Structure 1
């Protein structure tokens, strides 16, 4: 069992070891380390909120949450979050994980870029998003001690210029299907990288629908 701090350790199970190996072999170092930090911050968030959660499922959700950005797991017309959720679902089913647990991890990944909803759901769903929001957005930065932050980053380093590099990673993973970003935060990534990009507009969809009124 890899121990990061007194409260954080990577699960030591056949499934967790297989997850680690699969993600390490599939993702870039930047995404692997990011996903590992998401798990760590998710664990601490769960402890702070006094939630009961399965660390193995949380680890799987955290590690798979960005795999939909990789060409090997990217569909032509699904949101990258859904691609990642499908990948985790198939992986877990191959290990005979109960379907309720599979669906929990699927949901955690599918909703991890949907602000304001996961926090009210199953702890694994809530904590994957909590980890993402801490590592990418720093929304809860001050809620974690410097000691905890340093221990996590020491174990799974933030590469130089991580902020710009993660934005670029998002862009590389979704630029071929910009329509899938309609109504979610990844539309901001396309707009940041493409000067002439025009994002979809919810009100325009309503006004241009086939209804006559």
Structure 2
């Protein structure tokens, strides 16, 4: 008999780097973006466990907490896309956490890749999971793949607050200021409408 993943089944890593990344996200994000970052990890980890995808929980958690840090005014860049700015912040954070240069680079890659249309699960499982989970949480893509019991519990513990309006405004502003970025392409392709129709807000 198929048993779906429950909230209590989700791997929640508890390391100094994970606690520090949560502290950074809590300090610099609005409540909506903080909850989004936490949900991004939880959707990703639940999907991975439900589908038998092996992943590095610490790497995925740190990347999830920091993936939108480039939207914070303190880290916003006028020269590079926000996901690249966030990747640089993650590299510096992970250096302070004592991670190897290779592992710092992986965190940068996972964060940058979350904006891609598709990431190979074989080549970058953590990037694949974060790209998938952020798409679920923001634009409502493949929300039917979230285990039902996890969905209910996560939304109760980490409510969506005003994420739809806030993120639509953020991505629109980024796209206008950096039209050549992936954010600019998303804006032109109608992401604001997809955000407004997200089934998670129904």
Q: State TM-score, norm by structure 2.
A: 0.83
Q: Give the aligned partner of residue 17 of structure 2.
A: 15
Structure 1 gap ranges (5+) = 194-213
- 1:23–1:64 contact (8 Å) kept in structure 2: yes
Cα 1:74–1:27 change in 2 (3 A) is: same
1:132 and 2:134 aligned: yes
- 1:78–1:180 contact (8 Å) kept in structure 2: no
**Higher relative contact order (Cα pairs below 8 Å, separated by 6+ residues):** 2
1:26 and 2:24 aligned: no
Deviation at 1:128, TM superposition (A): 1.1
Q: Give the aligned partner of residue 153 of structure 1.
A: 155
CA deviations on 1:120-177 (whole Å, 9 max, x unpaired) are 53211111111111111222211223321111111211014x32322113234x2673
Find the partner of 2:100 among 98, 101, 118: 98
The structure number with the bigger radius of gyration is: 1
Deviation at 1:45, TM superposition (A): 1.7
Q: Give the aligned partner of residue 198 of structure 2.
A: none
Deviation at 1:179, TM superposition (A): 3.3
CA RMSD of aligned residues (A): 2.2
Deviation at 1:187, TM superposition (A): 3.2
Which secondary structure does the structure 2 equivalent of 1:73 belong to? coil
Q: Distance in 1 between matches of 2:189 and 2:60?
A: 31
Which secondary structure does the structure 2 equivalent of 1:72 belong to? coil
Alignment of 1:13-92 (within 5 A): 13-92=15-94
Q: Give the aligned partner of residue 194 of structure 2.
A: none
Q: Give the aligned partner of residue 197 of structure 2.
A: none
Structure 2 gap ranges (5+) = 1-5, 192-202
Q: Distance in 1 between matches of 2:165 and 2:33?
A: 13
Which secondary structure does the structure 2 equivalent of 1:33 belong to? helix
